[in-house]
Amino acid sequence: MIKNNSKFNVVIIGSGFSGLTAADMCAGHNLSILLMDENIHLGGQLLRKIPDNLGEPPDQKNDPIKKTGFSFIEKVKEKQITLMNKTVLLGVYEDNTLLCEYDRKKTLSIKYDVLLFATGARERFLPFKGWTLPGVYSTGMLQVLIKSSGLLPAQKTLMAGSGLFLYAAAYEYIKNKGKLLGIMELSPFFNKIKFLPQVIHQYPKFIEGAKYLSKIIRSRVPVKYRRQVIEARGENSLQEVVVGKVDQNGELISGSEKTYQTESLVVGFGFVPNIEAPQMAGCRLEYSQEKGGWTVVVNDWMETTVENILAAGEITGIGGAHKSLNEGKIAAYRILEKFRLEDTDRLAPVLKKLQKERQHHLSFVKCFNSLYKIKSRTILGIPDDTIICRCESIDMKSIKEAIQLGCNSPNGLKMSTRCAMGPCQGRTCAPVIYDLLQVLCQKDPKEIGLFSVRPPFKPVSIHALNHPYKSESPKGL
Ligand SMILES: Cc1cc2nc3c(=O)[nH]c(=O)nc-3n(C[C@H](O)[C@H](O)[C@H](O)COP(=O)(O)OP(=O)(O)OC[C@H]3O[C@@H](n4cnc5c(N)ncnc54)[C@H](O)[C@@H]3O)c2cc1C
Residues in Cβ contact with 35 at an 8 Å cutoff, skipping those fewer than 6 apart? 12, 15, 19, 20, 23, 42, 76, 81, 82, 83, 84
Q: Choose one of 18, 40, 45, 326 to mutate for the ligand 1 pocket test, by most ligand atoms within 8 angstroms of C-beta.
A: 45
CATH 1.10.10.1100 residue ranges in the chain?
381-443
Q: How far is the CA of 381 from the centre of ligand 1 (A)?
A: 31
- Integer-rounded Cα Rg, in Å, for the chain is 22
Q: 3-class SS at 307?
A: coil
The β-bridge relationship of strands 156-161 and 136-138 is unpaired
Query: Running DSSP on this structure, what letter comes out for residue 375?
Result: P
Is the CB of 321 inside a 6 Å radius of any atom of ligand 1? yes
Query: For the chain, which ranges sit under pLDDT 70?
Result: 1, 49-62, 195, 198-200, 469-477
The answer as to CATH 3.10.560.10 being correct for domain 6-122+272-368 is no
CATH 3.50.50.60 residue ranges in the chain?
6-122+272-368, 140-267
pLDDT of residue 96: 96
**Whether the predicted model's global pTM rises above the 0.75 cut:** yes
* Alpha carbon distances (Å) from 384 to 23, 37, 58, 218, 272: 47, 38, 43, 40, 25
Atom nearest to 139 CA in ligand 1? 1
Atom nearest to 14 CA in ligand 1? 34
d(CA 27, CA 61): 26
Q: 3-class SS at 409?
A: coil
Q: How far is the CA of 164 from the centre of ligand 1 (A)?
A: 15
Q: Choose one of 46, 122, 124, 428 to mutate for the ligand 1 pocket test, by most ligand atoms within 8 angstroms of C-beta.
A: 46
d(CA 352, CA 366): 21
pLDDT of residue 474: 42
Q: Which CATH class is domain 140-267?
A: alpha beta
The residue among 306, 300, 299 whose CA lies nearest residue 284 is 306
Is the CB of 36 inside a 6 Å radius of any atom of ligand 1? yes
Q: How far is the CA of 397 from the centre of ligand 1 (A)?
A: 33
For atom 49 of ligand 1, the residue with the nearest CA is 44
Is the CB of 88 inside a 6 Å radius of any atom of ligand 1? yes
pLDDT of residue 63: 77
The residue among 61, 51, 63 whose CA lies nearest residue 150 is 51
φ, ψ for residue 127, nearest 5 deg? -65, 145
Dihedral Cα 427, 429, 432, 437, nearest 10 deg: -110
Phi-psi label, residue 182: left if phi above 0, alpha if psi -120 to 50, beta otherwise: left
Which CATH fold topology does 381-443 show? Arc Repressor Mutant, subunit A (1.10.10)
265 membership: H or E segment, kind and range: strand 265-268
For every residue of 20-79, DSSP letters joined together read HHHHHHHTTSS--EEEE-SSSSSSTTT-PPPPTTSSSPP-TTT-HHHHHHHHHHHHHHHS
Q: How far is the CA of 89 from the centre of ligand 1 (A)?
A: 15
d(CA 21, CA 337): 16
d(CA 92, CA 454): 9
pLDDT of residue 164: 85
Q: How far is the CA of 95 from the centre of ligand 1 (A)?
A: 28
Specify burial of residue 62 (Cβ count, 10 A radius: 0-12, 13-18, 19+). exposed
Is the CB of 274 inside a 6 Å radius of any atom of ligand 1? yes
Cβ atoms 334, 302 nearer than 8 A? yes
Is the CB of 317 inside a 6 Å radius of any atom of ligand 1? no
Is the CB of 172 inside a 6 Å radius of any atom of ligand 1? no
Q: How far is the CA of 319 from the centre of ligand 1 (A)?
A: 11
